[in-house]
Amino acid sequence: MPIFKTPAIESGQAARLDRRRFLAVGGALAATGLLAACGDSDKGKGSGKNGSDKGASGPWTFTDDRGKKISLKKRPERIVAQSHPAAALWDFGIQPVGIFGPQKTADGKPSPQIGNVDLSKTTSVGTAFGEFQMEKLISLKPDLIVTIAYGPMVWYIPEDVYKKVEEVAPIAVIQLMGVAVPDAVKRFGELAAALGADPDSAEVKKAKADFEKAAAGVTAAAKAKKGLSVAVVSGTKENFFVADPAFHGDVKYFQQLGLDIVKPAKPEAGFEALSWEEAGRYKADLVLEDSRPEGGLTHQQLGAYPTWKGSPAVKAGQVSDWQTETPFTYQRFTKVLNDLATTVSNARTNVV
């Protein structure tokens, strides 16, 4: 996320991925040095201006963020994408014919993770982690499958199904771990351009201008509130998680815009996991707490924990949403930045 966004637990899905599983996987990868190696790497950028695009009729190549070169006889037209890149491509003008990953919330509303994607204009081939309706995927005749990665972990296409999916169409992967929001949006734009979109269209230019204005608003608010410390957290019944800004693209960007983000001393796969007895270890004037209804505790549920109620930010009423499910697009992230600027402007410093 978000970006790194920790895996949401999707209601009604058979295959569920919770933080404990991800942290366990991330810890194993970190032990081998793989996560560290992938953190802020610039490897895998596409060759040429837009990842190398010969046009709709000629040979087409694109080098993804794993350094994998995809070569096709012509530019891909039928794209199947995971929710996050589907939302990003959609806002650049590329409409995938298929989508996999989170699409609706438990109450049937569109998931924030799919952004502006019109679900009536695309076909779902699976919603749970690792779930693919292979017959439906094959029937869509995709030319290219697009997903994201957090370090070496390819999102929503685990190893046990990867080869089967890749037999249908080549897979392009965009890295999000440790990639700040504007850099991620730029990279999605490069892929969209390689797929035939116009990254300099009037709509995209306006969206970018709105995004940059909102970002400037956060910087101005941060400057006006010097000394304001901010912790980004998430809680489950078992643990209290403090986010590492070096891992999460959105939190990293907040830091770049001038916010004093609390950095945990011993993060693993994006978080330091604390017991609830230890939850008061990192104090801050303002807390941004995971806003997802699934996969964590609500603000009200957190109130049952003494260490939460006793934290300075909670006592001061300075708790706001960490909008973890927002895809990295100019259009969708502008609201996140505007909301953050308002929150910071209204916060008081030195409540710790």
Can you give the pLDDT at residue 295? 62
Nearest Cα to Cα of residue 284 among 327, 333, 228, 216: 228
DSSP strand pairing (153-154 vs 229-235):
unpaired
For residue 179, the 8-state DSSP code is: -
Percent of the chain surpassing pLDDT 70: 84
- Residue 5: pLDDT band with limits 50, 70, 90: very low
Can you give the pLDDT at residue 53? 44
pLDDT tens-digit series, residues 95-127: 999 999 999 998 999 999 999 999 999 999 999
333 phi and psi angles, rounded to 5 deg: -85, -15
String of DSSP letters for 113-165 = GGTT--GGGSEES--STT---HHHHHHT--SEEEEEEETTEETT--HHHHHHH
SS3 282: coil
- Residue 346: pLDDT band with limits 50, 70, 90: very high
Lowest pLDDT segment from 54-63, 159-168, 282-291, 334-343: 54-63
pTM, rounded to two decimals? 0.87
Written as six digits, the tokens of 182 are: 């504007």
pLDDT at 54 over 90: no
261 phi and psi angles, rounded to 5 deg: -90, 130
Produce one character per residue of 79-118: b if its CB has 16 or more CB atoms within 10 Å, e if not: bbbbbbbbbbbbbbbbebbbbbbbbbbeeeeebbbbbebe
Q: Is 9 or 182 the better-scoring residue by pLDDT?
A: 182
Written as six digits, the tokens of 48 are: 């040429």
pLDDT tens-digit series, residues 233-246: 999 999 999 999 99
The stretch 68-78 carries a mean pLDDT of 98
String of DSSP letters for 308-335 = HHTSHHHHTT-EEEE-TT--S-HHHHHH
CA distance 135 to 2: 31
